[in-house]
Amino acid sequence: MGKIALLVSREEMLYQAHNILQEKKYEIKEMRVIKTEDAVTEARQSIASGASIIIARGLQASLIKQYTDIPVVEIVITAQEMALLVNKAKQILKKESPVIGVVGFQNMFCDMSYFDTIYEIDMRTYFAEKGDLLEDMAKQAVSDGVDLIIGGDTAVGIAGEAGIPSLFLSNTEDSLKNAFSMAESVDYAMGVEKRNAAQIETLLDYSFNGVVRLDASGTIMDLNPIMEDILGKKKENVLGRAAGEIFRELIGEPFRQVLEYGKESYSLFMQINRTSVFAIVAPVVIDKRVEGAILTCHRMKKHKPRELDSKGKHHLRGFIALGEFDDILQESGAMQECVRLAKLYALSEKAVLITGEAGTEKRLLAQSIHNAGLHKEGPFVALSCDGAGDDVQLDMIFGDKGAIVQAKSGTLLLEEVQCLTRDNQYRLCQLLRYKQRLGKDGAGYPGMDVRVMVTTDVPFIKLVEKGIMREDLYYLLNGLTVRIPPLRERKEDLERKLKECIRECCEHYSRFHVLTRGAEKLLLDYPWDGNALQVESFCERLILTANKRSLDEAFVERNLEELYPRRHTDQNDKEKGQEKHLPEEAEKIAEALTRFGGSREKTAGELGISKATLWRKMKKYHLE
């Protein structure tokens, strides 16, 4: 319990307070009469003596609030007290509908909206916004010709100088009782807040994880010592900065959704000072309003291969993954989600299935997962299953000197896994399920510490339905699945890729060319079935064959027709005659969004789902 001090301007208010305290024990530790001109000094003395809350009235309360940081509970005149003063004024004036001026601060008074009607008076209020305006308000009341002034010492003094009757704004015990109760409520709330703050501080200081507290705008408000250690920065160098400045991975749509809509927590993988960190962002929601977020970071343990020599990575014999997540184009929301999933999969040792059209960044994504995962100190061995028969695949992958042996304590990437023969699919199942390599002689060699990733550009379920792939292999691989969207679904990434390729080609060949707006739009609208590979080769052709600085739409279209005639002529037909068929759920969402003018709240209500769930489904079906 804190210390409550009562500071008043008149002795009779102390008598009233003593009477109240005899009836009920309020925690009032100090009571005294003060002069208005000494209000701030007296309040500071009380604070120095340990006061945590001050009860005061009128101008004194206003001054104490203005010049100290302590909570001030103001004594508010009740309706019953104000009625007594009005009746006394009418007795003094003895006239019909007297004009009564009430001078003071608005928060000193109860609601007096109907006093005119109830008491048959003309009540005029003169409320000062600041203490130094109180005298002006009293003089204004005199100037307006009021019959009587009700107010504090200042107003009564001005009325006396003007020869106008006045009544001091006296109160009964009722308003003091209300103030005492309010002060105790404030004291209780402050105590609860202090206890909560102490508990949170203890949790932060003794947590094994790094913890960051953010406000509703994403600004860093607090962090614990573990987080200082992870960042390698002192708290004072981080507080007040935007979270995206310190944690680059938080820049993007998912983080914005947490702060803006209170989207349920999401997890992500981050690299901080060469430390692998698993992070969770959770919104702080109070009364359906997002008040901020909590970011917790957990250091990842490094996977230690069983047979690592003392020469670092020299034992890898060239099997090194060069790709990192930062190397991947991810300006688009679709690719940001793809990379976010991949970063989470990096935390596991289970097999990963990467799907995507030809030319998408499947191998680069696999390398990034390897370099962010538990096997990053081991080798990264990649080979294609395409164009090899059963025996060749057996030797390449499962032989005594095959890829599994070479990738021990590291990662094995099997590209075009749909080309794996049935017998070797069985061997892959044994490896995934039992960590066992089946050799030529059928003997099993257990203890194969290798992480497997596979890629395909064919829908896996269709391969199973056609009997091309084993069903058990499908279920083993179809857990940690990530789809790389084609560039035509990632306009932001496509735009950046085109700009980068053209710039790099110009620099390489010491040229300078720019696309016209029409040419740029044509390239952005083109489907690019070959994705990044096709973009790179096309830009090379474009720059080498350009004969003028400005590359216009006609020049670009001519190159597209020459290089990809069949695809180019089919494009207009597809755009005009073929509509993209969405799943039934996506069509319902699209129809509801259209009907409600894009309102997510109304759409979610219509579909019976939360706004966060609606947002996820919109991202899934590319309905942004």
What is the 3-state secondary structure of 328-345? CCCCCHHHHHHHHHHHHH
Q: Is the pLDDT of residue 593 over 90?
A: no
Could you please report the per-residue DSSP string of 300-360?
PPPP--TT--TTTTGGGTT------GGGS---SHHHHHHHHHHHHHTT--S-EEEE--TTS
End-to-end CA separation in angstroms for the chain? 54
Would you state the pLDDT for residue 144? Answer: 95
**Cα Rg, the chain, nearest whole Å:** 38
Average pLDDT of the segment spanning 349-375: 93
Lowest mean pLDDT segment, chosen from 91-100, 179-188, 263-272, 377-386: 263-272
Would you state the pLDDT for residue 571? Answer: 53
Would you state the pLDDT for residue 591? Answer: 84
Distances (CA, A) of 564 to 485, 494, 568, 570: 22, 18, 6, 10
Confidence band of 583 (pLDDT split at 50, 70, 90) = confident
Q: What percentage of the chain exceeds 90 in pLDDT? A: 46
Q: Strand pairing partners for 28?
A: 4
Q: Is the pLDDT of residue 26 over 70?
A: yes
Average pLDDT of the segment spanning 393-403: 91
Q: What percentage of the chain exceeds 70 in pLDDT? A: 93
Confidence band of 85 (pLDDT split at 50, 70, 90) = very high
Count Cβ atoms below 10 Å from residue 67 Cβ, excluding itself: 13
Confidence band of 547 (pLDDT split at 50, 70, 90) = confident
SS3 6: strand
SS3 32: strand
CB neighbour burial string for 300-324, b if at least 16 within 10 angstroms, e if fewer: beebebeeeeeeeeeebeebebebe
28 alpha carbon, distance to own chain's centre: 44
Count Cβ atoms below 10 Å from residue 438 Cβ, excluding itself: 21
137 alpha carbon, distance to own chain's centre: 49
Lowest mean pLDDT segment, chosen from 262-271, 331-340, 523-532: 262-271
Q: Is the pLDDT of residue 569 over 60?
A: no
CA angle 339, 344, 347 (to 5 degrees): 135
Would you state the pLDDT for residue 567? Answer: 58
* CA 616 – CA 608 distance, rounded (Å): 14
Q: Which residue, 334, 624, 344, is CA-closest to 486?
A: 334
Stated as kind and residue range, the H or E segment containing 463 is helix 460-465
Would you state the pLDDT for residue 165? Answer: 95
Q: Is the pLDDT of residue 568 over 70?
A: no
Q: Is the pLDDT of residue 491 over 90?
A: yes
Pairing verdict, β 28-33 and 3-8: parallel
Confidence band of 582 (pLDDT split at 50, 70, 90) = low
Say if CB 33 and CB 9 are below 8 A apart. Answer: yes
Would you state the pLDDT for residue 314? Answer: 43
Confidence band of 226 (pLDDT split at 50, 70, 90) = confident
Q: Which residue, 547, 548, 572, is CA-closest to 560?
A: 572
Would you state the pLDDT for residue 597? Answer: 76
Would you state the pLDDT for residue 566? Answer: 64
CA angle 47, 52, 54 (to 5 degrees): 80
Average pLDDT of the segment spanning 103-117: 89
Length of the chain: 624
Q: Which residue, 345, 468, 482, is CA-closest to 411?
A: 345
Would you state the pLDDT for residue 575? Answer: 47
Say if CB 247 and CB 227 are below 8 A apart. Answer: no
When the pLDDT of each residue in the chain is averaged and rounded to a whole number, the result is: 86
Which residues are CB-neighbours of 81 under 8 A, at least 6 positions away?
Answer: 170, 171, 172, 174, 175
**Cβ-based burial of 216 (10 A; exposed 0-12, middle 13-18, buried ≥19):** middle
* CA 566 – CA 549 distance, rounded (Å): 29
Task: Name the amino acid, one letter, at 282.
Answer: A
Would you state the pLDDT for residue 311? Answer: 40
Q: Is the pLDDT of residue 121 over 80?
A: yes
Q: Whole-model pTM?
A: 0.56
Would you state the pLDDT for residue 260? Answer: 85
Render pLDDT for 287-312 as a digit per residue (tens, 0 to 9).
888 889 999 888 776 555 544 443 44
Structure tokens at 68: 């100290």
Say if CB 324 and CB 371 are below 8 A apart. Answer: yes
Domains located in the chain, CATH noted: 3-75+175-187 (3.40.50.2300), 79-170 (3.40.50.10660), 207-299 (3.30.450.20), 314-483 (3.40.50.300), 488-577 (1.10.8.60), 584-620 (1.10.10)
List for the chain the helix, strand, coil content (%; round to 5).
50, 20, 30
* CA 385 – CA 396 distance, rounded (Å): 9
Would you state the pLDDT for residue 576? Answer: 45
Q: Which residue, 59, 290, 255, 45, is CA-closest to 152?
A: 59
548 — phi, psi (to 5°)?
-150, 160
Render pLDDT for 505-514 as a digit per residue (tens, 0 to 9).
988 887 788 8
Average pLDDT of the segment spanning 128-150: 91
Count Cβ atoms below 10 Å from residue 293 Cβ, excluding itself: 23
Average pLDDT of the segment spanning 69-95: 92
Would you state the pLDDT for residue 570? Answer: 52
* CA 539 – CA 500 distance, rounded (Å): 10
* CA 499 – CA 497 distance, rounded (Å): 5
